[in-house]
Amino acid sequence: MKSMPKQNTKIVNHGAVVSIRGSVIDVRFDTELPAIHSILTMGDNDQIIVEVLEHRDAQNVRGIALTPTQGLTRGMQVTDTDGPLLAPVGKGITSRMFDVFGNAIDREGGLHDVEWRSVHNAPPLLTQRSTQSEIFETGIKVIDVLVPLERGGKAGLFGGAGVGKTVLLTEMIHNMVGKHKGASIFCGIGERCREGEELYREMKDAGVLNNMVMVFGQMNEPPGSRFRVGQVALTMAEYFRDDEHRDVLLLIDNIFRFIQAGSEVSGLMGQMPSRLGYQPTMSTELAGLEERIANTDNGAITSIQAVYVPADDFTDPAAVHTFSHLSASIVLSRQRASEGLFPAIDPLQSNSKMATPGIVGERHYNLAQQVRSTLAQYSELKDIIAMLGMEQLSPEDRKVVGRARRLERFLTQPFFTTEQFTSNKGKLVSLDDALDGCERILHDEFKDFPESALYMIGAIDEAKQKMEASAIKSKTQKPTASSPLKTEVADATNQDAS
C-alpha cells in the first residue's frame, strides 16, 4: 500500500492574558504550556511580542515583553508560536542593519537569501576549540605595545562615562575592518540612535560596509529587547564562523547595558536582588553570552567589548565578573583624559594574557616591561615632584621622568574618527614602528627634544619632521632674546609633573 505524505496536524496553542504589570505579562493556557524561551504574540496584527521566562504553575506562564505593551488588555487572546526568538543568517545579512527581531532598519528594502535560526545556542565544546595563540594588530601604539590583543580572544575597554570608550572602539573598527578579511559584526546594546546612525554613515563612507553587519537594541527599547540583542549578534557571528569558515570581528558596545537589562528583567520578574542591586543570576547570564565567543577549527570570533564602569569603581560586580572572561583588559583613565593624553589608556592598570615572551617574542616583551617600569617609577616620583619640585630629584631620577613623559606623549595618537574635531590627520602605526619608537626613547635618543614634538604623532621619525618644521617657522618669525626651542626644552624639564 502506498504511504500517504505526512500532514502537519499541529494545533495552534492559544491562551489568554491574565495580568499585566509593565513589561511582565502572565498568560493562562488551558491545553499545553509553552516551553521556556518560547515567543508569544498578541494584540492587533500580533505586534506585541512576549518571551516566556517562567512556568508559574500547571496552567500559567510569566513572560517579559520585548516590545511596548500599550493597548494590551486582560483576557486578550495570545498565540504560542511554538519556537524561540529567531535571527536571520546567510549571505543576505551583510551590509545591513537589524533590530532584535531581525527586521532590517536601514531602509534598504527586504531581506533575500537568508534563513532563520534560534538565538539560544550552546557554546562550542572544549574538544572543538582551537588552542593557538596569535596577536591581533590594531594600529594603535599603546595597545599593540603594552596590551596586545588575541586573535579569537575577548578584549574589554573599561572606563567611566566620557573617557573615550566609544571613540576608541570606533577607531578600532576603522583600522581593522579595512584589512580584516573576515566578517565584522557591530552589536549596540542600549545604544543611542545618534551613535548608530553615525557609525552606519562612517562605515558606508569608508567603503567597508560590504563585510559588516550591525545589530542595535536602542536605549528606549524595553529591557527584554536589550537583553536579547547580544544573542542575536552572536547567532550571526556563529553562522559566519561555522558555516562560512570565516574569521569574525565582533564589536559590542556596551556589555554593561546587557548586565543592566538583565538586572531590570530580574527585578520585573520578582527575583531577590544580589550585591548592589544586581540580579542573582548575573554570573550565569554573562557566562552564557561570553562563552559562545570562541575559537574553533572552523574559524575565530575575536571580540572587543566596551564596558561602562559605574562611578569609576572597578570593584563593582559588573566590572569584576566581566574581567574574568577577558584575555585583555584595556582600562581608560579619567586623569589621563583630563591631561589630554588620548587614547586615555592607563598602561599600569591595563593588562593582556598575550604579553608573554613565548607569544609576542623576547624583544617585544622586554621593551614592554621597560616601558611599564619607567612609567611606574614616574608614577611613584609624582608626589615628590608635586611637593618639592624637580630640583630635589637625583640626576638619574630626572632622566627617568624625562623618558616617562616622552613615552606618555609618544603613546598618544591622532585618530581617523576624530579628524573632523581635531584637524589632526589620523595615523595607523605598525607594531614594528611603535616598538622602534619606544626603544629609541628609552635609549635617550630624544632627550633633547621638547615633549611637544612627540605628542600626537605616528611613527617616531615624525618627531624630527615636527622639529624641522618648527625650526623653519621660528626662522621666519622675528628673532627674540632666547631661542623658542631652548625655552621649550627648559620649560619641559622644569615644569610640574602633575
Q: Cite the active site residues.
A: 165, 191-192
Which one-letter DSSP state was computed for residue 148? P
Instruction: Strand 97-98: give its sheet, edge to edge.
Output: 97-98, 212-218, 183-191, 248-253, 301-308, 154-159, 328-331, 351-352
Residue 308, Cβ density class (10 Å: 0-12 exposed, 13-18 middle, ≥19 buried): buried
Determine the Cα–Cα distance for residues 296 and 312; give it in Å rounded to an integer: 35
Determine the residue type at 440: R
CB 40 within 8 A of CB 52: yes
Taking the mean position of all CA atoms in its chain, how far away is CA 247? 17
Q: How far apart are the first and last CA of the chain?
A: 92
Provide the pairing of β-strand 212-218 with 97-98. Answer: parallel
Q: Is 14 helix (H, G, I), strand (E, B) or coil?
A: strand
Determine the Cα–Cα distance for residues 136 and 153; give it in Å rounded to an integer: 9
Q: Which long-range contacts (CB under 8 A, 24 or more apart) does 452-455 make?
A: 452/409, 452/488, 452/492, 454/406, 454/409, 454/410, 455/409, 455/412
Determine the Cα–Cα distance for residues 275 and 39; give it in Å rounded to an integer: 31
Give residues with Cβ within 8 angstroms of 316, minimum separation 6.
Answer: 276, 309, 310
The C-alpha angle 34, 13, 43, rounded to 5 degrees, equals 95
CB 53 within 8 A of CB 24: no
Determine the Cα–Cα distance for residues 31 and 15; give it in Å rounded to an integer: 9
The C-alpha angle 155, 157, 160, rounded to 5 degrees, equals 155
Closest residue by Cα to residue 360 from 144, 178, 185: 144
CB 253 within 8 A of CB 199: no
The C-alpha angle 208, 213, 216, rounded to 5 degrees, equals 125
Look at phi and psi of residue 137 and say left if phi exceeds 0, alpha if psi is from -120 to 50, else beta. Answer: beta
